[in-house]
Structure 1
Amino acid sequence: MPSSCQEVALNLGECMAKTSCMKSNTKTLKQCLRDGEADECDVLRRAYFECKRGQLDMRKRIRGPRVY
């Protein structure tokens, strides 16, 4: 995994591990993210999506990730 998105991915994984969806051990991480049961992790999910999408956009590759 590229280092630019690695920190966001780790934070998302830690946040999802704390949710009730993951603690029940009946669903996978992918299923919990798809179903949208983890409202508290939506900001991190969106940040990870934007990071991965930015790797495909050549303009963002040259300019680098946005820092707010």
Structure 2
Amino acid sequence: MPQYYEEKEEDARACAGIREDFKACLLQHDCVVKEGKKPSECLKEGHCRALQVSFFECKRSMLDTRSRFRGKKGY
């Protein structure tokens, strides 16, 4: 469940909402909490994959000339 809200303006960077949710997913996952692994190790195992892909797509859309003029895709 997304934790990000549009009214929240602490981080004005692009893709801040997805970044926050992705970070929270990794840090609260059993792989990190119970097993004590690093978040990068858990990513290699495929945890929080949907948020990782969404974050990548959001960052990639910042480089896409067409989406720069049309605006960011909704999250």
Q: Report the TM-score range of the alignment, normalised by the length of the smaller protein.
A: 0.7 to 0.9
CA RMSD, Structure 1 to Structure 2 (Å):
2.1
Which of 7, 13, 29 does residue 19 from structure 1 map onto? 29
Identity of aligned residues (%): 31
> Structure 2 length as normaliser, TM-score?
0.67
Contact kept in structure 1, 2:14 and 2:59, CA below 8 Å: no
**C-alpha distance in 2 between matches for 1:11 and 1:52:** 15
> Structure 1 length as normaliser, TM-score?
0.73
Please state which structure has a larger fraction of its residues in helix: 1
Name stretches of at least 5 consecutive residues in structure 2 with no aligned partner: 1-10
Superposition pairs for residues 27-66 of structure 1, below 5 Å? 28-36=38-46, 38=47, 41-66=48-73
Name the count of aligned residue pairs: 64
**C-alpha distance in 2 between matches for 1:6 and 1:64:** 15
SS at match of 2:32: helix
SS at match of 2:36: coil
What is the letter of the counterpart of residue 30 of structure 1?
S
Q: Residues 15-55 of structure 1: CA distance to partner in whole angstroms, max 9, x if unpaired?
A: 111112212223x322322321x1xx233222101101101
